[in-house]
Structure 1
Amino acid sequence: AIAEEVRKRKRALGLVKDGGVIDEAEHLIYVEARTRLAELH
């Protein structure tokens, strides 16, 4: 579920290009998503 959210966010931010990603941005989005998920539980 987190990975799916990360992909959606990356697409929305235009970070998915030619099947590649910007590693730092991906990491930051992943951390943010994980943090928010933790806050929900």
Structure 2
Amino acid sequence: MFSIFIFVSVGLSMATTTLIGQFMGAENMKKVDETSKKAF
């Protein structure tokens, strides 16, 4: 039972991180993409 709670908590935190990443990361991904092209 407790492991299920942990699984749900991790799933929610991952979903929240993904949403925040998509929301705030649109501009950042462009910068990261340019940086990675310079790096490699």
Q: TM-score, normalised by structure 1?
A: 0.47
Q: Could you say which structure has the higher helix fraction? A: 2
Q: Which has the larger radius of gyration?
A: 2
Q: Which has the higher contact order (CA 8 A, sep 6+)?
A: 1
Q: TM-score, normalised by structure 2?
A: 0.49
